Amino acid sequence: MSEPTRLELTAQINAERERQILVKGYTYDHDDQHGAGDWLAFIVHELGQIDFLKRSIWTIAFRRQMFKVAALALAALEWSYR
């Protein structure tokens, strides 16, 4: 597996953010109900979802959660500008 480019990683973050909006219903209206402390709590929660004991899937799980965290950070940034 070759190392993805920053552009490819950013595209995956954007895809996860779209999934959060379309599948989970985390629209701007939904997001606007939260404050800065909520966003930090959401991110910390997602970071805690990685099962570090299962070493065989650690890399896959780590990457999956990092995309979720990055998309949450993007949502928080979007919120902060509205």
Separation of alpha carbons 69 and 46, rounded Å: 6
Q: What is the pTM of this model?
A: 0.86
Q: Where are the domains of the chain?
A: 6-80
Residue 26 carries which DSSP code?
-
Q: pLDDT tier at 75 (50, 70, 90 boundaries)?
A: very high
Instruction: Name residue, tokens 């959060």.
Output: 20
| pLDDT reading at 54 higher than 80 | no
Distance CA 17, CA 69 (A): 10
Is the pLDDT score of 26 beyond 70? yes
pLDDT at 6: 97
Tokens of residue 41, six digits = 């709590």
Does pLDDT of 55 surpass 80?
Answer: no
Residue 62 has pLDDT above 90, yes or no: no
